[in-house]
Amino acid sequence: MYSVLRPLLFSLEAERAHGMTLRSLEAVHRAGLGGLVATRPAPLLTKLLGLEFPNPVGLAAGLDKNGAHIDALMGLGFGFVEVGTVTPRPQAGNPQPRMFRLPKHQAVINRLGFNNDGVDVLVRNVERAQRKGHALLGINIGKNKDTPNDFAEGDYLHCLERVYPLADYVTVNMSSPNTAGLRELQEEQALRRLVSTLREAQERLGAQHGKRVPMLVKIAPDLSDDDIEAAGRVLGDLQVDGVIATNTTVSRLAVQDDPKARETGGLSGAPLMDKSTAVLRMLRTRLPESIPLIGVGGIMSGPDAVKKTAAGANLVQLYTGLVYRGPVLVGECVDAMRRRKEAPSRGTLPPDE
């Protein structure tokens, strides 16, 4: 079905098509016709973070910032769905237009800027979701644009406290390129300060609610080797539950021939694959084996998902690949990862991979 609808969606401005896609998915779900959109893949149970994922392919944050379409998105066959990024207070984000397709490169540039309705709205939406598809729910938290970095921990703490009882896991986003100064929080001392504060809060909330919700940190693909080394050291020392690698990139080297390459914002899609996977691979060698990795960035096919696992990812996430391939990509990635898992020996890929 998506192959039929894609030309229509691509004829619309990118952010408008984004909204239309979510509304259409919601309508189809409410009508009980989700099977027309996607076929749920056979389970590929993955135990990680003290949780059991129906399959290791998830939806990356950014598609459903307010958690308003959780059930419809879970119906696409994901093993987990991550909503957000959400901030304490509502904010409009950056001026439009702020999302651009680069079809020649199977890429998207966005400078949305954490546009969302605030954490209280997201909490109400999550509370209303039925979550019957057995997929797990991650909630991605950030800071408001007008909150100085010196006070960022207050924003993250507020969001963590509000979403903690509802999330299967929480992701701390300090790596978006679209909020001025946000990536400075990844500098070693700032990272240690912020994550240490959040880890203390996580343990306190675990005792308060009688359950321990895993907390992951999402990092940028544009870190230097020294920065990756430092991030691995800090996140390992503080024993975070997991790391998501990576967010979008500000680099334009892979798309410099495209007229839209001059647009500011984060680049995602196929051109991000090599860069994000290199960071993933470096992190795997610098983090304790006990800290799992989620690989995201540039997955456009089943073999791409397998490359992420070969580089050290325990789970993977999709977003821009859905724009170009549609929901069929979910099952394709699950099946490719299943074949890798069933291969006779570690490191041996099936012939079609």
Active site residues: 176
Whose structure tokens read 């973070």? Answer: 49
DSSP sequence for 172-209: EE---TTSTTGGGGGSHHHHHHHHHHHHHHHHHHHHHH
Whose structure tokens read 């993933």? Answer: 280
Q: How far is CA 329 from CA 16, 138, 309, 326, in A?
A: 22, 20, 16, 6
Q: How far is CA 320 from CA 102, 271, 317, 323, in A?
A: 11, 11, 10, 5
Cβ neighbors of 348 (< 8 A, separation 6 or more) are none
- In this structure, are residues 113 and 326 in contact, taking their beta carbons and an 8 Å threshold? no
- 304-324 burial, b at 16+ Cβ within 10 Å, e below that, comes to bbbbbbbbbbbbbbbbbbbbb
